[in-house]
Structure 1
């Protein structure tokens, strides 16, 4: 209809590429030149390679610290000063507190006995309680009674028959506090 005031389109070269168009603060910059696409790809590639250096599941990862080998003293232990080490220490403290509390409950509700761990009489330092009675008292304190009992047995604070205790089935098993 009328005259076209726009000039005919021309091909952009790398040197005279238009400025990138921006579409607001939260949208990405749209680069239309080949040079811009190449730069964006190279930037992404460099960032990805740097990320892969720290990714423990990548084949490109180089351990930044010396990892202990099997047979060394620190093998299977978290790195010194790490968050994992701190969480382990905190868990150990909580479990130790629960074991002390369990021993106190056994002292309070149990009866003194003449058991020294080998079936002979001793001076009455041991205290015995049946599992059922202990379960009824301790269930209001913690829901981890059996796990705490197993840990206390491992530390030679208590002894009882069997590998595991089950509520109802093992209510008459005697638990002996040794200290």
Structure 2
């Protein structure tokens, strides 16, 4: 029985025509299947390589150095990565929004003398009530409170309290420092 099945295999292999004998359509089909196989193998190899750098993959190589707490790179994305680029883009966007907020306060706020302190560019301080600022700024952005907190952290504005709430803090004064 073993010889019989072996002879069948040989016969089947002999029945496969030479690729040169194929028609144009059949050759195109073989070429496209070969291309699909090569593309799939290429994707597989790239994916396997990427998984070596993925800290959540079981394929992670121990040779990848992960920064430890206290090192300068700890908590920061890899240099040149897409994550680093997205962080830089977000920082730029938020900085633009903080600048725009300061400009809005200059435009709608009341100016006054700052008592000799040279915080303002022309020696004046601009103040506005939070309610008025909220009503005006809501058409520009829906993130006013977050932008105010960021601007205060950068030393550009000041207000009392940790957070400003619409309605409750409408009469709180927001002061533009620079």
Same fold, TM exceeding 0.5?
A: yes
Summarize the Cα distance change of 1:133–1:92 in structure 2 as closer, same or farther, 3 Å threshold: same
Distance of 1:156 and 1:17 partners within structure 2: 86
Give per-residue Cα distances to partners, 1:13-55, cap 9 Å, x unaligned.
Answer: 9x85955x9xx959x9xxxxxxxxxxxxxx9xx97x9465454
Distance change >3 Å, CA 82–CA 16, structure 1 → 2: same
State the partner residue of 2:5.
11
Partner of 2:75: 76
Q: Name the residue aligned to 2:152.
A: 153
Structure label with greater radius of gyration: 1
| Deviation string, structure 1 residues 58-86 (Cα, Å, up to 9, x no partner) | 33311564322111111111111111111
Q: CA deviation at 1:173?
A: 0.6
Taking the aligned partners of 1:131 and 1:66, their CA distance within structure 2 comes to 48
2:110 corresponds in structure 1 to 111
The alpha carbon displacement at 1:114 in A equals 4.5
Match of 1:99 in 2: 98
Give the match for residue 67 of structure 1.
Answer: 66
Separation in 2, partners of 1:144, 1:50: 41
Contact preservation (8 Å) 1:125, 1:178: no
Secondary structure in 2 aligned to 1:11?
helix
Uncovered stretches (5+) of structure 1, i.e. residues with no partner: 1-8, 29-42, 116-120
2:21 maps to which residue? none
Q: Distance in 2 between matches of 1:162 and 1:17?
A: 89
Q: Partner of 1:57 in structure 2? A: 56
Q: CA deviation at 1:90?
A: 0.9
Which fold has the larger relative contact order, with Cα–Cα distance below 8 Å and residues 6 or more apart in sequence? Answer: 2
Look up the match of 2:38: none
Residue by residue, what CA displacement relative to the aligned partner does 1:124-150 show, whole Å, maximum 9, x if unpaired? Answer: 532110000001111111111111001
CA distance in 1, matches of 2:143, 2:135: 13
* More displaced 10-residue stretch of structure 1: 53-62 or 69-78: 53-62
| More helix per residue | 2
If the length of structure 2 is used for normalisation, what is the TM-score? 0.67
On the 8 A contact 1:158/1:175 being kept in 2, the answer is yes
Distance 2:78 2:72 in 1: 12
Gaps of 5+ in 2: 17-25, 34-40, 118-122
CA contact (8 A) 2:53 2:64 kept: no
TM-score by length of 1: 0.67
